[in-house]
Amino acid sequence: MSSKKILLVIAEGISDKEALGYILSNLFANEIVNIQITNDDITTRKGCSPSNIVNKIVETIKAFSGSIYKAKDFSEIVHIVDMDGAFIPDNNIQEDNSFENPYYDIDKIVTKDVEGIKKRNQQKRDNINKLLTVNKVWSTIPYSTYFFSSNLDHVLYGEANLEKEKKVSKAREFSAKYFENCEKFIEFVSSLCIYKGDDYNKTWEKIRVNTESLKRNTNFNLLFTSPKFDNSYYLKLNNSGHLT
């Protein structure tokens, strides 16, 4: 078995993996990067609450691990969360029966099911607030949560309401643009960071204020400014700036 440890990224869908998988593997060359897709949003999953959400995260890790990996085989768990406007005031949720799915605007959510979105947002807020108190899961594995607002599509492509059938193609385009130019990827996500500093807690404070959780913000860049990021990607570059 490889001596490298596993950096496990928990994400909602295949498009997240398509967009970020190769980029993260290049950036964290001294680790094995795997993206575990949940096919849903854990924070809004039916029956998921602050009392059990940490267990749900551990279940996700164990589903990936099977009988092969133990907690000691992981370097870190990185959980990607779409904000989905979860922290906006209820008054900023507006009814419009012409929308089949929630529509995310810069300062409001438009939906045919106002009460349903209010309940969803409350559940998501409660679960996110709980996860922000957690720094280790499965007893010993470092855990951190990074947000994309309103969602990953919004941050990476500037499209908060991207049609489902376009998600994978957009993700592949994004990956092709950045996977051999990862320093530009870091510059890009850093330009969209809600807090111009390296304070992880400050980013979470800011994104939970007013309508910030609908605006194009992220703190994903902080994954690459933390002490655990060893710049191993840059060690693979030759003088021409291309991967060897």
Total-model pTM: 0.93
In the prediction, which pLDDT does 233 show?
53
Report whether pLDDT(230) > 90: no
Q: How far apart are CA 77 and CA 7, in angstroms?
A: 6
Over the stretch 137-148, which tens digit does the pLDDT of each residue have? 999 999 999 999
pLDDT for 115 equals: 98
Structural domain contains residue 183: yes
pLDDT per position as a tens digit, 6-56: 999 999 999 999 999 999 999 998 899 999 999 999 999 999 999 999 999
Query: Would you say 185 and 210 are in contact if contact means Cβ atoms under 8 Å apart?
Result: no
Residue 225 is assigned to a structural domain of this protein = yes
Rounded to 5°, angle at Cα 158 from 86 and 170: 110
State the Cα–Cα distance between residues 106 and 67, nearest whole angstrom. Answer: 45
Binning pLDDT at 50, 70 and 90, where does residue 198 land? confident
- Which residue has tokens 């924070």? 43
**What is the token pair recorded at 99?**
């929308």
Residue 169 lies in domain: 6-86+115-235
pLDDT tens digits for range 59-68 = 999 999 999 9
Range list of β-strands (E), the chain: 6-11, 32-37, 74-82, 93-95, 103-104, 109-111, 136-137, 141-149, 217-218
Residue 108 maps to a domain: no
* Position 103 in a domain: no
The number of folded domains in the chain is: 1
Owner of token pair 């807690």: 201
Please check whether residue 109 lies inside any domain of the structure.
Answer: no
Count of Cβ atoms closer than 10 Å to residue 176 Cβ = 10
Token pair listed for 136: 């280790």
Query: What is the Cα–Cα distance from 170 to 82, expressed in whole angstroms?
Result: 17
